[in-house]
């Protein structure tokens, strides 16, 4: 099951199908513009869950705390967890706390796992995508990774970039109401949009074309990426859902996305090509076609 | 839900009831007599799950690895995880791996979460225990905690004590086949048998009497506990299930336990007293009655 490499596993349990996912969060710094490790841990797991089209029913929450971690910071983080759960309408059902000696962990690590119920008839998987599907993203890319980077000790430059960290379950539910035919959904976290598209291309066996001019990127993110020689296509996001939608329904899904607060800048960024021709082509503004590749070496550590 | 303080949460999801639990493992040392952090992480979560009487259907598995952790150690741990999963007949469905810089974590931390399906008509909870219920444990107490202690840098004395770390799902399934009337089950981990009984006494509102002479403790554990001034009643176990069974079924459950490899030394150790008289009384070999109390200060850190 693990080698399917999707964001969530789908498990048969009697009549029900259960989505199940886990993530450990080791982000550094733990407070960053637009969020903190607590909000991130809730959003990350909710967003992985909903890539199956499931209704999230509950999360687990487990803390590893370094001895001496300030109680006031812990309270701040628990507060942001609570408000994220309230916004998403999701509950924490089970938890665990471990404390380790000073020096045995870097302040605070959080694991969240999550379960959801996949409704009858819902079948969302990269395996379902077809030639002609439109590729939609719900907004600008690269905000999370560059926001984290801007606060790292080794950089620490001033910028107004905020992480896009957000729970996307309501957005996805709005999209699914707009079309019952969404083929695949993927949370564009570690490795960014490019990595996610490359993985889906491999899993589905389909090629894809994307158009640079249609991919939203904020100017402040572009500026930092140019300055540091980074490519926003490979920068992590924490509130970006990539969807694959048959052409006839693509505009309905786009419209539903734009009506949600986390989808205002949603855009159709590309199209699925024929099967048995894997690969992702970036069509640039200059009219060139660039074949994308994995860039694992350039990924930042502890981005989530 | 979190304030129910049971080992697993039970969640309604359509017609099904799902048990859901999580635990992070930070045990030090990561290799110890009788197991390692990998085996422990699988057993701990399986044993928490089955306290609901559920059939475990899958685990999640998440690693936080310190940069420089030897690959050979990781392979050893993954091997022991695999053999534990095989023995228990449980699968890992979803996973995650994070690597942090040298010095940002102490070698390896593991989180496992687990889900299971609670069959129709099964209702196992401390809230169900009744006056006259027999209290059964499946074997000797204190092995895990003293095995860990014996390998800590600050002690490091030689002993032949092995952790009791074991997956108890098949034992519990055998017990449930022997009696459909088991009222409550609890995994006697952190805080040991005494803490677990005190918690159940509070949750159920019932008093309990236990008899020292009926509580199995291995001689080598007793020896170390006397030497270090520890009470085995408060030492962590990782393969001990405490069950509460109506008197007419108690011997059937005891017999089923004894027939399982992890229950050979099972014993009826006590009896539930009347409601609205909380507390746990230890009846000693000398005929005295000692009221047990929480001993949080004495609990070892990083025992699991």
pLDDT at B299: 62
pLDDT tens sequence across B7-33: 777 788 777 789 999 999 999 999 999
Q: Say whether pLDDT at A299 is over 70.
A: no
- Is A242 part of a structural domain of the chain? yes
Confidence grade of residue B93 (pLDDT, cut at 50, 70, 90): very high
Q: Helix H segments across chain B?
A: 37-50, 71-88, 143-150, 169-178, 192-204, 219-228, 247-258
Domain boundary pick from B118, B143, B172:
B118
Note whether A165 and A224 are within 8 A (CB): no
User: Which one of B20, B99, B106 has the shortest CB-CB distance to A58?
Assistant: B20
Q: Say whether pLDDT at B155 is over 60.
A: yes
Going across the sheet that includes B9-13, the strands are B9-13, B16-25, B108-118, B55-66, B92-100
pLDDT at B7: 72
Tell me the DSSP string of A192-244.
HHHHHHHHHHHHH-EEEEEEGGGS---HHHHHHHHHHT--GGGS--SS-EEEE
Whether residue B107 is found in the same domain as residue B139: no
Q: Average pLDDT, whole number, for chain B? A: 93
pLDDT tens sequence across B290-300: 999 998 655 67
CB contact under 8 A, B98 and A302: yes
Whether residue B209 is found in the same domain as residue B273: yes
Measure the CA–CA gap between B14 and B31, rounded to whole angstroms.
42
- Is B55 part of a structural domain of the chain? yes
Note whether A266 and A138 are within 8 A (CB): yes
Q: Say whether pLDDT at A253 is over 60.
A: yes
List A residues 113-172 in contact with B (Cβ-Cβ < 8 A).
Answer: 113, 115, 117
Q: Say whether pLDDT at A32 is over 60.
A: yes
pLDDT at A6: 67
pTM of the model: 0.93
Domain boundary pick from A118, A149, A169:
A118
Whether residue B107 is found in the same domain as residue B179: no
Residue of A153 and A62 predicted with greater confidence: A62
Nearest CA in chain B to A105: B105
Measure the CA–CA gap between A28 and A26, rounded to whole angstroms.
6
Measure the CA–CA gap between B135 and A25, rounded to whole angstroms.
40
Measure the CA–CA gap between A127 and A134, rounded to whole angstroms.
15
Note whether A134 and A244 are within 8 A (CB): yes
Instruction: Name the minimum distance, in Å, from the CA of A141 to any CA of chain B.
Output: 22
CA neighbor of A102 nearest in space, from B68, B236, B302: B302
- Is B303 part of a structural domain of the chain? no
Q: Average pLDDT, stretch B100-121?
A: 95
Whether residue B7 is found in the same domain as residue B32: yes
Between strands B279-283 and B206-211, the pairing is: parallel
Q: By the CB < 8 Å criterion, does B92 face chain A?
A: yes
pLDDT at B156: 67
Q: Is this prediction's ipTM beyond 0.95?
A: no
Lowest mean pLDDT among B33-37, B218-222, B296-300: B296-300
Whether residue B87 is found in the same domain as residue B132: no
pLDDT at A300: 74
The whole domain housing B20 covers 2-118
Residue A278 CA, chain-centre distance (Å), reads: 23
Measure the CA–CA gap between A225 and A298, rounded to whole angstroms.
12
CB contact under 8 A, A22 and B301: no
The answer to whether the Cα torsion of A259, A263, A269, A273 is positive or negative is negative
List A residues 63-82 in contact with B (Cβ-Cβ < 8 A).
Answer: 63-64
pLDDT at A156: 67
Q: Average pLDDT, stretch A273-289?
A: 92
Residue A21's CATH number: 3.30.1330.10
pLDDT at A2: 46
Q: Tokens in use for B161?
A: 């004590």
Q: Say whether pLDDT at B145 is over 60.
A: yes
Whether residue B103 is found in the same domain as residue B151: no
């Amino acid at each position: 099951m693990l080698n399917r490499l999707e964001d969530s596993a789908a498990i048969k349990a009697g009549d029900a199908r259960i989505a199940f996912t886990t993530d450990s969060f080791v982000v550094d710094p733990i407070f960053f513009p637009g969020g903190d490790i607590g909000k991130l841990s809730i959003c990350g797991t909710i967003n992985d869950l909903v890539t199956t089209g499931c209704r999230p029913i509950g999360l687990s929450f487990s803390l590893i705390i370094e001895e001496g971690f300030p109680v006031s910071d812990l309270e701040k983080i628990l507060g942001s967890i609570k408000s994220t759960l309230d916004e998403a309408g999701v509950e924490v059902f089970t938890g665990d706390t471990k404390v380790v000696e000073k020096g045995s962990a870097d302040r605070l690590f959080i694991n969240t796992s999550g379960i959801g119920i996949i409704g009858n008839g819902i079948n969302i998987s990269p395996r379902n995508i077809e030639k002609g599907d439109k590729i939609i993203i719900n907004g600008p890319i690269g905000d999370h990774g560059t926001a984290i980077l801007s606060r790292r000790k080794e950089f620490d430059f001033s910028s107004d970039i905020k992480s896009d960290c957000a729970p996307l379950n309501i957005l996805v539910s709005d999209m699914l109401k707009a079309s019952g035919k969404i083929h695949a959904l993927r949370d564009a976290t570690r490795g960014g949009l490019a990595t996610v598209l490359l993985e889906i291309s491999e899993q589905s066996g389909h090629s894809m074309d994307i158009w640079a001019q249609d991919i939203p990127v904020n100017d402040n993110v572009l500026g930092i990426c140019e300055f540091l020689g980074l490519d926003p296509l490979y920068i992590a996001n924490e509130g970006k859902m990539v969807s694959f939608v048959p052409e006839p329904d693509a505009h309905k899904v786009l419209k539903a996305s734009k009506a949600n607060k986390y989808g205002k800048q949603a855009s159709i960024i590309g199209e699925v090509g024929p099967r048995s021709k894997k690969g992702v082509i970036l069509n640039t503004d200059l009219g060139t076609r660039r074949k994308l590749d994995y860039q694992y070496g350039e990924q930042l550590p502890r981005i989530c």
